[in-house]
């Protein structure tokens, strides 16, 4: 018998949670030989998510929860869940049923014999997603696979079952700017990929705006590739060569043909173009610098406001309690 820890990041999921709880209970009934713990991570929800989780935890002793002091993002929620989990296997699952809980028995089937360390999932369709979002997502996967040593499958989800050993490896990567899809690939371990058809969220709305996704993709690129920095230097080199050839051309034209190149419009265009490129390259360097700056501060990835353990023994000292999670 194994114990499985289901980690569920929740941000404003009051509408989806009842459906999810019902679905995971059905699955755990099927897998009745295994022990389960459910870790709901409330990522600073502004709706009744925490109340719903608390009510569920009173009813069902398998439920534990961690509630953040504010919204720290899904990456932080997943990290906190992995830190808190005690199982032999950990499962990260969205609260909106887009990660179908009924895949769990099949996923567990692959790891229980020790054949695989992890079972990951990927959507093979993107039905129901705005076409522009799908287009940019596809381009992002193409770019990141080209410029980094990672191999991220298109449509890869965070929905994944992994051994506690792999979870430990992920936890040892304590970076503040987290990009899980890259981290999973970076730590290695033998992974089985399960494809499934996209499912629309059962209730509520997506928390990822286009802008948020764009920033997240930058996180991935800056976190796992230094190619943009190399591109900046190569661009600089190309422009040096071009400008040097141009200088030679002008000198030759002036001395031999006594015909200096006239006109400031061309000059203005060149200056604007070159300064654009310079700012672009400085922006790239700035991205790396800003991430380094945040990393050096060594801030915690998340801050907890309460958990079910805190409720059961209120006198616990804060530090002691954080350690006990």
Q: Which residues bind ligand UDP (CB under 6 A)?
A: 9-11, 13, 43, 71, 73-74, 77, 94-96, 98, 201, 206-208
Of 71 and 191, the one with the shorter C-beta distance to ligand UDP is: 71
Strand order across the beta sheet in which 191-196 lies: 191-196, 118-123, 156-163, 89-92, 3-10, 35-42, 63-68, 304-307
Of 2 and 201, the one with the shorter C-beta distance to Mg ion is: 201
Strands (E), the chain: 3-10, 35-42, 63-68, 89-92, 118-123, 156-163, 191-196, 304-307
Of 16 and 232, the one with the shorter C-beta distance to Mg ion is: 16
Strands (E), 74-232: 89-92, 118-123, 156-163, 191-196
Number of residues binding to Mg ion, judged by CB under 5 A: 3
What residue 208 binds from ligand UDP, Mg ion, none (CB within 5 to 8 A, per partner kind)? ligand UDP
Rounded to a whole number of angstroms, the minimum distance from the CB of residue 273 to Mg ion is: 42
What residue 37 binds from ligand UDP, Mg ion, none (CB within 5 to 8 A, per partner kind)? none
When binding is defined by CB under 5 A, the residue of 12, 34, 42, 98 that contacts Mg ion is 98
Q: Is 42 in the site for Mg ion (CB under 5 A)?
A: no
Q: Is 96 in the site for Mg ion (CB under 5 A)?
A: yes
Of 73 and 223, the one with the shorter C-beta distance to ligand UDP is: 73
Of 207 and 309, the one with the shorter C-beta distance to Mg ion is: 207
Rounded to a whole number of angstroms, the minimum distance from the CB of residue 236 to ligand UDP is: 37
Q: Is 13 in the site for Mg ion (CB under 5 A)?
A: no
What residue 73 binds from Mg ion, ligand UDP, none (CB within 5 to 8 A, per partner kind)? ligand UDP
Q: One symbol per residue from 48 to 87: x for binding Mg ion (CB under 5 A), - otherwise; what is it?
A: ----------------------------------------
Of 77 and 107, the one with the shorter C-beta distance to ligand UDP is: 77
What residue 11 binds from Mg ion, ligand UDP, none (CB within 5 to 8 A, per partner kind)? ligand UDP
Query: Quick one: which of 114, 95, 99 has its CA closest to 8?
Result: 95
What CA–CA distance (Å, rounded) separates 208 from 156?
16
Is residue 116 within 8 Å of residue 190, measured between CB atoms?
Answer: yes
Rounded to a whole number of angstroms, the minimum distance from the CB of residue 187 to Mg ion is: 24
What residue 219 binds from Mg ion, ligand UDP, none (CB within 5 to 8 A, per partner kind)? none
Six token digits for residue 2: 């194994």
Give the HSE-up count for residue 244: Cα atoms under 13 Å, Cβ half-sphere: 6
Query: Quick one: which of 51, 59, 164, 172 has its CA closest to 118?
Result: 164
What CA–CA distance (Å, rounded) separates 319 from 325?
10
Q: Which residues of 154-192 are buried (b: 16+ CB within 10 A; e: fewer)?
A: ebbbbbbbbbbebbebbeeeeeebbbbbbbbbbbeeebb
Q: Which residues pair with 162 in a beta bridge?
A: 90, 118
Q: How many CB atoms neighbour CB 310 within 10 A?
A: 18
| Site for Mg ion, rule CB under 5 A | 96, 98, 201
């Amino acid at each position: 018998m194994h114990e499985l820890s289901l980690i569920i990041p929740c941000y404003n999921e009051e509408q989806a949670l009842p459906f999810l709880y019902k679905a995971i209970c059905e699955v755990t009934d099927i897998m009745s030989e295994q022990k389960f713990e459910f870790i709901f991570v409330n990522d600073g929800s502004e709706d009744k998510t925490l109340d719903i989780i608390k009510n569920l935890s009173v009813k069902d002793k398998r439920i534990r929860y961690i509630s953040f002091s504010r919204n720290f993002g899904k990456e932080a929620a997943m990290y906190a869940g992995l830190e808190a989990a005690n199982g032999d296997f950990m499962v990260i699952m969205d609260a909106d049923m887009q990660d179908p809980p009924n895949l769990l028995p099949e996923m567990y089937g692959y790891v229980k014999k020790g054949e695989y360390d992890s079972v990951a999932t990927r959507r093979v369709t993107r039905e129901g997603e705005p076409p522009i979002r799908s287009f940019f997502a596809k381009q992002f996967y193409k770019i990141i696979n080209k410029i980094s040593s990672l191999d991220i499958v298109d449509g890869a989800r965070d929905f994944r079952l992994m051994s506690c050993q792999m979870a430990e490896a992920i936890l040892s990567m304590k970076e503040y700017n987290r990009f899980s899809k890259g981290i999973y690939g970076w730590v290695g371990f033998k992974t089985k990929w399960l494809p499934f058809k996209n499912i629309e969220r059962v209730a509520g709305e997506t928390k990822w705006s286009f802008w948020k996704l764009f920033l997240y993709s930058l996180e991935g690129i800056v976190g796992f590739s230094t190619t943009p920095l190399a591109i900046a230097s190569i661009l600089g080199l190309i422009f040096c060569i071009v400008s040097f050839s141009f200088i030679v051309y002008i000198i030759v034209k002036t001395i031999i043909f006594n015909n200096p190149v006239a006109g400031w419009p061309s000059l203005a265009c060149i200056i604007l173009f070159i300064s654009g490129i310079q700012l672009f390259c400085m922006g790239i360097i700035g991205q790396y610098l800003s991430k380094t700056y945040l990393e050096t501060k060594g801030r915690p990835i998340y801050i907890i406001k309460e958990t079910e353990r805190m409720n059961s023994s209120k006198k616990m000292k804060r530090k002691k309690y954080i350690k006990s999670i």
